[in-house]
Amino acid sequence: MPVTWLPGEGFFANSYLFGDILIDAGVYPMAVAPHADRVRTIVITHTHYDHIAHLKEIAAMTGAEVCVHALDVPGLTDDTPSLAPMFCEHPPMVVPDRILADGERVGGLLVIHTPGHTPGGISLYSEEERALFCGDTVFPGGSFGRCDFPGGDGRALAASVERLSALDVEGLYPGHGEPVKSGGSRHVRASALALKGTR
């Protein structure tokens, strides 16, 4: 199944379309509008404002159900965990339709709880496509997310990236920057190696 990349602008995060699932909602609604008819589900990798800035508008436009991990629900309505004041904004005040937990599935995607950047951060993995949507947990080139924001935890992040390094990843789809279409496992393992000293 092809992945459609909707690039984030400025500080705002990328979104991705995988079948009828939209991953993250920081992009402007007009970027999603051409695909609105196919979006049935919105999955939020974590609730920092740059990933949820336009969640309310996109959910209303598509009628899609909103899914988020239990530990990141507060970021949808609370300034502190959402970091919204850093953007001179407030969170979208959206009540999720579905609370996710580790090991569940959303469509063809496996939910993997990857705390560290936020307490309820998740990654989404398609075994069939060997595609990993990793939010701000890991980035191409051996980089990884910050853990110095409220709720961040360096040891948890290192453990999360170590867990992801065991997956067979071809396409790596991060929250920021350009996705990697092949050899994603190599990038994740490099990030895990870089984090070894923080555990």
Q: Averaged over 38-62, what is the pLDDT?
A: 98
- CA dist 29 and 161 (Å) reads 31
What percent of the chain is predicted at pLDDT more than 70?
A: 98
Q: Averaged over 84-108, what is the pLDDT?
A: 96
Q: Write out the two tokens for 79.
A: 């300034």
Beta-bridged to residue 110, according to DSSP, are: 105, 125
> pLDDT value at position 197?
61
Q: Averaged over 74-99, what is the pLDDT?
A: 96
| Domains, in order of start, for the chain | 3-198 (3.60.15.10)
Q: Averaged over 146-166, what is the pLDDT?
A: 95
- CA dist 51 and 19 (Å) reads 19
- CA dist 28 and 25 (Å) reads 8
The DSSP code sequence of 37-88 is GG--EEE-S---HHHHTTHHHHHHHH--EEEEEGGGGGGGT-HHHHTGGGGT
pTM score > 0.75 for this model?
yes
Q: Averaged over 159-175, what is the pLDDT?
A: 97
Nearest to 51 by CA among 176, 195, 192: 176
Q: Averaged over 156-182, what is the pLDDT?
A: 96
